[in-house]
Amino acid sequence: MKKSTLLSGIIALIIGIAALMAAIHQTDNNISGILFGLTGCGLGLGIGTIINYTYWSTGKNRKRYEELLERKNIEVNDELNQRIRDKAGRITESIGLAIIISLIITLTLFEALGFMASGYLTVVILSFYLLIRLVIYAVVFNSVRKEYL
């Protein structure tokens, strides 16, 4: 594995530790919640990346890692997989655009009718949209793949 992978893991770990220290010293609940979330993300990503780097960099696993990397490069550069990813991306983007337009109209109506007092609902809805979009991409990718195979 590249040394830059280890470096990015260390940086994520440092960001997680810094966010933890800031969250502990923060008295405002809104900011501390965000900082604790950043702590979990930074620590989890950093520790996971460092462990992954250590595992694949040992002598016995290095050869296996090179084989996996070669197989992954073949799959990524395969023309059929590229076409499938492109088509799945186009379909997902179209569905996502329709969802965003309907969300804009719905949230505008909610605000006009007085149902939305804070931005919390907007954050929850957009987070849900992100999750839906990832699921839609996976479903569309698998269905398009079945068409070609």
In order along its 149 residues, the chain shows pLDDT tens digits of 788 999 999 999 999 999 999 989 887 777 888 888 899 999 999 999 999 999 988 888 888 888 888 888 887 788 888 888 888 888 888 888 888 888 877 877 777 777 776 667 777 787 888 888 888 888 888 888 888 77
What is the pTM (predicted TM-score) of this model?
A: 0.59
Gap between the Cα atoms of 94 and 100, Å rounded:
10
Same domain, 42 and 83: no
Which two three-digit tokens encode residue 92? Answer: 């997902």
Q: What's the DSSP call for residue 141?
A: H
Gap between the Cα atoms of 11 and 60, Å rounded:
27
Which two three-digit tokens encode residue 141? Answer: 């990718």
* Domain membership of residue 36 as a residue range: 1-70
pLDDT value of position 52: 92
pLDDT value of position 118: 65
Domain boundary among 70, 102, 128: 70
Domain boundary among 49, 70, 91: 70
- Cα radius of gyration (the chain): 21
